[in-house]
Amino acid sequence: MKECGIQARLAELRKHVGEAGASLAEFARLTGIERRLLARYEKDVAPSADNVAKIVKGTRCSAAWLLTGEGQMFQEEGTRPQRVPVVATASGAGAARVAFTDHGREERRMTLPSDAHLVQVTGDSMVPIAVSGQFVWVSNESPVNGDLALIELPDDEVLFKRVYLAGNMLQCISINQDPRYAPMMIHRKDVRRVRKVLGTWYG
């Protein structure tokens, strides 16, 4: 990248946040810095050390690149903030069909794996981790024993449970201790896919 000052690098960084760049308002929300101040930073004012730290933390850009122009713009491949869509609904109490629909929620920019997406939970079997209507972050990574996961069954049925592998069987555990939610044993051949749940979204 050509040599330039930090003001130009900030403007360049904003163009590379997410898939289509970020507006000043989005950049302000991402970094926690006032929009008015960010606009000045891109013109003729150098950011303070504290705000440089906020920009680095919020965008996962390289501090060395931001301050000097040396090296790569981002710290690691695939870690830049992304616009992550809500794409599905999964059941925490029973099975529910996945509905790849627009849930009408505002898209947020967060540092997540490139394949991360939000899935809405229904039912109360996973309380207190997630209540009905809440969202969880999901990636296409396969879970290990004890991970929270989405279990996709035939006909697009989806469960949200803690999972353990037991030979050819998948043990699916609810968090809620209510006796209605006894552990489920599902044969691996009856499972289409199991995806790792990264955590709960409280936005």
Q: What is the rounded distance in angstroms from the CA atom of residue 63 to the CA atom of residue 83?
A: 22
Residue 15 three-state SS: helix
CATH of 6-68, one of 1.10.357.10, 1.10.260.40, 4.10.780.10, 3.10.580.10: 1.10.260.40
Higher pLDDT, 195 or 99: 195
Alpha carbon of 120 to those of 49, 96, 127, 201: distances in Å?
39, 11, 14, 10
Q: Where exactly are the structural domains of the chain?
A: 6-68, 82-201
Question: Of all residues in the chain, what percent carry a pLDDT higher than 90?
Answer: 36
Backbone angles phi, psi at 51, to 5 degrees: -75, -30
Higher pLDDT, 92 or 24: 24
**Does the pLDDT at position 110 exceed 90?**
no
Higher pLDDT, 113 or 171: 171
**Does the pLDDT at position 150 exceed 70?**
yes
- What number is the average pLDDT over the span 146-156? 91
State the pLDDT confidence band at 193, using cuts at 50, 70 and 90: very high
- Overall fold of domain 82-201: Umud Fragment, subunit A (2.10.109)
Q: What is the rounded distance in angstroms from the CA atom of residue 16 to the CA atom of residue 202?
A: 26
Helices and strands, number each (H, E), in the chain? 5, 11
Bridge partner residues of 97 (DSSP): 157
pLDDT of the residue at 106: 47
CATH fold match for the domains 6-68 and 82-201: no
Please state the pTM of the whole predicted model: 0.51
Exposed, middle or buried, 100 (CB in 10 Å: 0-12/13-18/19+)?
Answer: exposed
